[in-house]
């Protein structure tokens, strides 16, 4: 079984399968300062700080693989001027420290390929597996093959926790989220998305149509590696007709993930409680 360990106190995860070690980070959003500049708020490029934090993390974790779970850049479809400079330089320095670098495309990664060195492996939005862990960005459905993994890891959400003190002051912290996942419900939703006709034996259809044995039972949501970005407080109380309308991404909206019972951890490993328990603090 693949070992899954958050790398404290970073917004990163380390997967170990025998002698292979995969460092996983998500949502760099290189070039995000451009949007602030357009609104008259001028912030120096934070890319060097993000790169230096990743280089320090690589030195400590000593991974054999680096997997980036999407949203490398911030501009969604086009390539901003800053990204033409910052992204190639970023990866030229990183690839000197890790031989195998894989990028799972996110919804902000339109036209990313020309910016990356040829040695970087570009993977589809449907994700990739490492041992018995399936990894994808989260804005699109994962490949059916990933449902054979026991655990799924996604980004895209930028999860944070909101805490309000008795004086009314409110702070937010980046967090990891570990949530139970109903594999049968996920399979049903995914097969429905793929247009597959189903009877009562959903896992049997998955096996027959895709040669995949259903194993998935939990979902990890990664915090953004760009710590300068905001996030979505997952413990906020929202007045909506359906709880799933508060979430982004097809898996969370499908209802297969029990967010209320999800465990919430700070980057230093502190267990805060479940999302449901933390709603009173928001």
HSE (CB half, 13 Å, CA atoms) of 97? 18
Collect all residues with Cβ–Cβ distance below 8 Å to 8 and sequence separation of at least 6. Answer: 267, 268, 269
C-alpha 103/C-alpha 71 separation (Å) is 9
* pLDDT digits 0-9 by tens, 138-193: 999 999 999 999 999 999 999 999 988 777 788 899 999 999 999 999 999 999 99
Answering whether pTM is above 0.85, one says yes
* pLDDT digits 0-9 by tens, 3-22: 999 999 999 999 999 999 99
Map out the domains of the chain with their CATH numbers: 3-281 (3.60.21)
Q: Does the pLDDT value for residue 66 go beyond 80?
A: yes
What confidence tier does 76 reach under pLDDT thresholds 50, 70, 90? low
Q: Between the CA of residue 256 and those of 53, 96, 153, 190, what are the distances in Å?
A: 34, 40, 14, 11
Q: Does the pLDDT value for residue 42 go beyond 70?
A: no
Burial status of residue 165 (CB atoms within 10 A of its CB: 0-12, 13-18, 19 or more): exposed
Give the ranges where 122-280 is alpha helix by DSSP (H).
Answer: 183-193, 202-210, 250-253, 275-278
CA dihedral 34, 38, 40, 46 (to 10 degrees): 0
Q: Does the pLDDT value for residue 201 go beyond 90?
A: no
Q: Which residue has the higher pLDDT, 127 or 242?
A: 127
Q: Does the pLDDT value for residue 32 go beyond 80?
A: no
Using the 8-state DSSP alphabet, how is residue 100 labeled? E
Give the mean model confidence (pLDDT) for residues 50-73: 95
Reference 127, options 112, 144, 110; nearest CA is 144
């Amino acid at each position: 079984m693949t070992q899954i360990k958050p790398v404290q106190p970073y917004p990163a995860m380390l997967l170990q399968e025998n002698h292979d070690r995969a460092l996983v980070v998500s949502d760099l959003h290189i070039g995000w300062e451009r949007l602030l500049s357009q609104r008259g708020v001028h912030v120096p490029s934070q890319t060097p700080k993000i790169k230096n934090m990743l280089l320090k993390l690589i030195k400590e974790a000593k991974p054999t693989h680096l997997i980036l779970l999407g949203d490398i850049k911030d501009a969604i479809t086009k390539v901003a001027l800053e990204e033409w400079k910052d992204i190639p330089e970023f990866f030229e320095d990183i690839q000197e420290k890790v031989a195998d670098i894989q990028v799972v495309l996110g919804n902000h990664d339109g036209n990313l390929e020309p910016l990356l060195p040829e040695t970087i492996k570009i993977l589809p939005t449907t994700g990739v597996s490492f041992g018995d862990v399936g990894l994808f960005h989260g804005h699109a459905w994962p490949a059916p093959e990933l449902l054979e993994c026991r655990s799924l890891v996604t980004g895209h959400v930028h999860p944070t926790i909101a805490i309000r003190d008795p004086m009314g002051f409110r702070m937010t912290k980046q967090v990891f989220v570990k949530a139970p996942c109903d594999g049968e419900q996920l399979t049903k939703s995914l097969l429905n998305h793929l247009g597959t006709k189903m009877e009562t034996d959903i896992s049997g259809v998955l096996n027959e149509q895709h040669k995949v044995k259903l194993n998935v039972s939990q979902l990890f949501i990664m915090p953004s590696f760009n710590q300068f970005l905001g996030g979505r407080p997952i413990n906020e109380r929202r007045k909506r007709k359906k709880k799933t309308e508060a979430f982004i991404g097809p898996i969370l909206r499908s209802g297969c993930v029990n967010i209320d019972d999800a465990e919430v951890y700070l980057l230093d490993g502190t267990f805060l409680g479940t999302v449901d328990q933390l709603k009173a603090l928001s």
